[in-house]
A and B are shown apart, each in its own frame.
Chain A
Amino acid sequence: MKEVLLVFQKSIIWNYYRKNSLFILVVILFSFGFLSGQEHKTFVKSALKSWYILSFIFLGWSFYAFKTYLFVLRTLNQPDFWFLFNIRLLPFRKRIWIWFIVQFSLIQLTFSYAVFMAIMGALQMSYFTVGAILLVNFILIIFGVFIFEKRTLSHPEKENKLTNIFSFQLKFPKPYLLFYPNYLLVQEPILLLLSKAFSILSLLFVIWLFPTDEYDKRLFGMFAVIIAAAHLKIVSEWVYFKHKYLQFYRNLPLSFLVRNGYVMSGYLIIIVPEFFIFLMQKPIGISVFFNFSWLIFIISLLFLSHQFIYVNTISEESKMQWYFFAFVGLLILVLFKIPLLFLSVIFILLSIFINLKYFNSSEY
């Protein structure tokens, strides 16, 4: 039983939190960024006294629970997870217990707030309201258990009505250019979050540092190198993504310009948050030309790192050394006031050379 539960934990629960980490973070930041602890207490006290406010809270919890139901159903629709249908082999009570744990774990975001509300209610002796809060949460769990049980008792390939009803959200066309940024958002949110957090914090640090002394623009150049380095895993993940999900890509008769134009435009999209912050927060005296050079410099670095992955004559271990020495070398070049735009041109030319020489012979 413990082993089976572990399988569901890894396949559904961890997967859910991994894929929704950005969403959950945004919800937490939104909830606790706007309201202080004291304000939350006041809000809950008002809600406990008003069925009108309480009904909106219940509605919010229901929406969240619905999101979790859809996640589980979509997971079960994927052939990679069809092994989960073997839960049918377990006795009814064990199946129900597993789905109960799964659903209970998935609604922890709202359930923990419900517990907070229930404690507040108990302290105020609003036992009827506390009962309603607990009952709503229990119903949301049981409803999940019911639909998951029903789904796993049917054939894995059977179309699911609930996910089909909500297929409207699937009908927005996605151009190829957005495939990878979307992959990062949906499949690798933690990687995106960590890389962006490091990169943006570095940028904010240099923006804060700049006016404190007589620094010059080289400081921004050096931090551009750090920002590019923060994206190295995102770069390698792109090559992996193409290899795993877009095998047909190499069969496409795309010109050299189009193929590499996609790569550079993809990095432009990925680096938009940093560039936006840079434009908004940059100190006075930074020219438009420097803004442009700074952006091109980061993109050319990412482009070069991307092409470098295709070099199949250097081992992975050696590549790490190359990255390290390139990082140090770049910082020195920037310190010696080599113009960023000049360096960018060199990097782009080098990238083109590597691409022409290694792209067709490379293998992931």
Chain B
Amino acid sequence: MLEVKNYLKKYNQHLVLDIPELSIVEGIHWFVGKNGSGKSTFFKSLAGITPFEGKMLFRGLLPSQKECKFLVNYSEAEPKYPDFVSGKDILKFIAYAKKASVRQMEELAEHFGINEYWEQKIGSYSSGMLKKITLVSGFLGNPTLIILDEPFILIDAASIEKLYNKISELRESHNVNFFLSSHQDLVPSKLHVDGLYFVDNKIIVKK
């Protein structure tokens, strides 16, 4: 599903990740690494957000290609949106770009309980409310890979449960793949994780 070769990422000459070769098959994959280890950088590269050196192909497509962006969705670890727009404005725009139906967007909003506040300005949201907006954005459209960066931080136990259900449902019914990350060593027992990867010392290794 994902082929990485000679991947290199530097920020101002500071090397963050150096992956000579990595191949990831379909399934739910869990990426563990301490803060600043490069998990988000790797995810953002795959989502076409962060440029990099080397080769990365998702189902034969480059992350910068439009077709690839239909297949790969990314939910940020600590989202930052403009204060003066509503969560709904943001999601409507993402839904439009990802060709998601209004019905899908509204169903997701109801599932995660954001429909109670998503018409308010983002400036009035708590960090948990904001996190749920980015989680919903990750599910919009018809992706084959959903990257959820630190999905279990900032949200309450009930929302975590809903997230588990959504992930399991999409994996079973639509064969959607997931990349999840955490800076803690805990692997959720409620999810059937197919691959566990450690991001450390500038490389990514499979356990």
B86 within 8 A of partner (CB): yes
- The answer to whether A251 and B72 touch across the interface, beta carbons within 8 angstroms, is yes
Interface residues on B, range: 35 or more
Say which one of A32-40, A59-67, A163-171, A268-276 lies at the interface with B: A163-171
- A79 to B78 CA separation, bound complex (whole angstroms): 12
Say which one of B23-31, B93-101, B160-168, B182-190 lies at the interface with A: B93-101
21 A/B residue pairs, CB under 8 Å, sorted by A: A74-B123, A74-B124, A77-B125, A78-B123, A79-B127, A157-B126, A160-B124, A167-B120, A170-B120, A170-B121, A173-B89, A179-B89, A187-B84, A244-B80, A247-B49, A248-B49, A251-B48, A253-B66, A253-B69, A253-B97, A363-B50
- A160 to B79 CA separation, bound complex (whole angstroms): 22
Smallest Cβ-Cβ distance to A163: which chain B residue = B124
- The answer to whether B51 and A360 touch across the interface, beta carbons within 8 angstroms, is yes
- A265 to B82 CA separation, bound complex (whole angstroms): 20
Q: A173-B92, A176-B93, A182-B85 are in contact. Are A250 and B49 (CB under 8 A)?
A: yes
Option from B120, B127, B137 in Cβ contact (under 8 Å) with A248? B137
Q: A245-B81, A248-B76 are in contact. Are A174 and B124 (CB under 8 A)?
A: no
A183 within 8 A of partner (CB): yes
A156 → chain B closest CB, angstroms: 8
A76 → chain B closest CB, angstroms: 10
Option from B49, B51, B66, B98 in Cβ contact (under 8 Å) with A361? B51
A318 → chain B closest CB, angstroms: 18
- A175 to B80 CA separation, bound complex (whole angstroms): 18
Residue numbers of A with Cβ under 8 A of B are 74, 77-79, 156-157, 160, 163-164, 167, 170-171, 173-176, 179, 182-183, 186-187, 241, 244-248, 250-255, 360-363
- The answer to whether B119 and A254 touch across the interface, beta carbons within 8 angstroms, is no
- A200 to B94 CA separation, bound complex (whole angstroms): 36
B54 within 8 A of partner (CB): no
B100 → chain A closest CB, angstroms: 11
Most chain B beta-carbon neighbours within 10 Å: one of A157, A251, A255:
A251
